[in-house]
């Protein structure tokens, strides 16, 4: 080993959502090892939930993540409904589907924008975030809020949607579809993006399975899993849609899976609005008997897994929350090692790590002199320069 350098990434950067701390070990231009330290910002939600009643917990868990704030309460409610044996009314299942799919579109569009920025495609960044806006408006119409929807509750949902609201959402989704189709075409046909992202950040199918990767990270590595189809919840088994899998295993495959999923989500929402039945929106839940339940939901980033144990009192004995990034982030060990430094920014970003304040104050320190070599802004710049070089060649 000639000259090993350690690069610290984290714990904060305003570009990303959560706190995480990466240390990259560099030999020349190559990454030789990567270490992750999470929980810079651990909030103790699981402990907090033990002091909340079953009805209060959904509002706590939707604050686990500002982006997955429909998936976490839904997974929790499904776990509790499993304990209590509650049958959720049809209309509530459709309403849950609509909110969860809107969430998926806005999360994926946010990621496409950030990824565009990391590789120096600021036009993609501007467009993706512009096309995301109508979806945020639709979420506001549906739930009254752009984030933290307070929509799901044990036994159903808290608010009904009127015909007018559903029509308005349908119109906004149509608007997004037109723009997104154009964006998807442009991104997938761009020769520079092909050259820049193909073969970068390879996560093999075996490694994806070994690390328990989920969501688009697994589907981009040829693992055909999707909780929505495999263990149907909400109204997904009543709707015609398909799971997109790509066995490219690289960053391009993950990008492609996410972009196609946006279009699929739009399809799901339109069908749900068309087919939604009339009726009750919640079932009466009198008490939660002793028992154990699990609930899992396909959040935008992958499967979010909740386990709840009840002892018959008003408070959960234990509530375990596992967000998808917890399984996806360790895959960096497989995808980053051996990569070029210029590819690290986009490889780390490619799993859409939900790091609420993570990353991206990244400094490279020369191990001999202790002098700073790169910070994260410079790493992003390195990444953007590489794109520029490829652009000139193509």
Partner 1 sequence: MSGVDSVSNVSVPLMGFAGQVLSALGDAVIAVDTRNDRRALARIDPARTVEVAKKMFEMDGSRFATATGIDVRDGIDILYHWVFDKVGAVITLKALAAAPEMKIDSIANVVPAANWIEREIHDLLGANFVNHPDMRRLILDDSWPEGVYPLRKDFDQIKDRPPLPPQPPDTGEALP
Q: Which residues bind partner 1 (CB under 8 A)?
A: 37-39, 42, 44, 46-48, 51, 82, 209-212, 214, 224-225, 227, 230-232, 289-292, 294, 296, 303, 305, 307, 309, 311, 317-318, 320, 322, 326-327, 330
Q: How far is the CB of 217 from partner 1 (least distance, A)?
A: 13
Q: How far is the CB of 320 from partner 1 (least distance, A)?
A: 4
Closest CB to partner 1 among 132 and 296? 296
Residue 263: Cβ-neighbour burial (10 angstroms; 0-12, 13-18, 19+): middle
Closest CB to partner 1 among 42 and 178? 42
Q: How far is the CB of 42 from partner 1 (least distance, A)?
A: 6
Q: How far is the CB of 367 from partner 1 (least distance, A)?
A: 20
* Three-state secondary structure of the chain: CCCEEEEEECCCCCCCCECCEEEEEEECCEEEEEEEECCCCCCCHHHHHCCCCCCCHHHHHCCCCCCCCCHHHHHHHHHHHHHHCCCCCHHHHHHHHHHHHHHHHHHHHHHHHHHHHHCCCHHHHHHHHHHHHHHHHHHHHHHCCCCCCCCEECCEECCCCCHHHHHHHHHHHHHHHHHHHHHHHHHHHCHHHHHHHCCCCCCCHHHHHHCCCCCHHHHCCCCCCCHHHHCCCCCHHHCCCCCCCCCCCCHHHHHHHHHHHHHHHHHHHHHHHHHCCCCCCECCCCCCCCEEEEEEEEECCEEEEEEEEECCCCCEEEEEEECCHHHHHHHHHHHCCCCEHHHHHHHHHHCCCCCEECCCCEEEECCCCCCEEEEHHHHHHHHHHHHHHHHHHC
Q: How far is the CB of 99 from partner 1 (least distance, A)?
A: 22
Total residue count of the chain as it appears in this document: 394
Closest CB to partner 1 among 232 and 338? 232
Q: How far is the CB of 349 from partner 1 (least distance, A)?
A: 20
* Rounded Cα–Cα distance for residues 3 and 163 (Å): 66
Q: How far is the CB of 48 from partner 1 (least distance, A)?
A: 8
Closest CB to partner 1 among 158 and 322? 322
Closest CB to partner 1 among 27 and 292? 292
């Amino acid at each position: 080993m000639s000259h090993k350098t350690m690069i610290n990434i984290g714990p904060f950067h305003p570009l990303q959502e959560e706190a995480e701390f990466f240390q990259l070990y560099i030999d020349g231009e190559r990454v030789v090892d990567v270490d992750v330290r999470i929980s810079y910002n651990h909030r103790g939600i699981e402990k907090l939930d033990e002091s909340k009643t079953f009805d209060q917990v959904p509002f706590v868990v939707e604050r686990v993540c500002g982006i997955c704030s429909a998936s976490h309460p839904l997974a929790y409610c499904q776990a509790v409904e499993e304990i209590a044996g509650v049958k959720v009314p049809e209309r509530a299942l459709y309403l849950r589907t609509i909110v969860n799919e809107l969430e998926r579109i806005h999360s994926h569009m946010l990621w496409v924008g950030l990824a565009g920025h990391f590789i120096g495609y600021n036009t993609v960044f501007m467009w993706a975030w512009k096309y995301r806006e109508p979806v945020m408006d639709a979420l506001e119409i549906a739930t009254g809020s752009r984030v933290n929807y307070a929509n799901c509750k044990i036994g159903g949902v808290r608010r009904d949607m009127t015909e007018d609201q559903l029509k308005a959402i349908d119109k906004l989704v149509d608007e997004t579809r037109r723009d997104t189709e154009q964006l998807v075409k442009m991104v997938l046909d761009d020769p520079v993006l092909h050259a820049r992202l193909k073969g970068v950040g390879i996560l093999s199918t075996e490694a994806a399975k070994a690390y328990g990767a989920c969501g688009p990270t697994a589907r981009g590595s040829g693992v055909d899993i999707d909780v929505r189809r495999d263990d149907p919840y909400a109204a997904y088994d009543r709707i015609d849609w398909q799971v997109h899998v790509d066995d490219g295993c690289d960053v391009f495959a993950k990008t492609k899976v996410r972009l196609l999923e946006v279009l699929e989500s739009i399809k799901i929402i339109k069908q749900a609005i068309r087919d939604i039945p009339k009726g009750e929106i919640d079932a009466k839940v009198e008490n939660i008997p002793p028992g154990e339940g699990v609930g899992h939901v396909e959040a935008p980033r992958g499967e979010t897994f909740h386990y709840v144990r009840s002892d018959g009192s008003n408070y959960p004995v234990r509530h375990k929350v596992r967000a998808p990034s917890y399984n996806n982030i360790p895959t960096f060990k497989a995808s980053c090692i051996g990569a070029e430094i210029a590819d690290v920014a986009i490889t780390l970003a490619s799993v859409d790590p939900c790091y609420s304040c993570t990353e991206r104050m990244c400094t490279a320190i020369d191990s001999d002199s202790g002098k700073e070599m790169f910070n994260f802004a410079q790493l992003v710049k390195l990444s953007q320069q590489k794109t520029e070089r490829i652009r000139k060649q193509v």
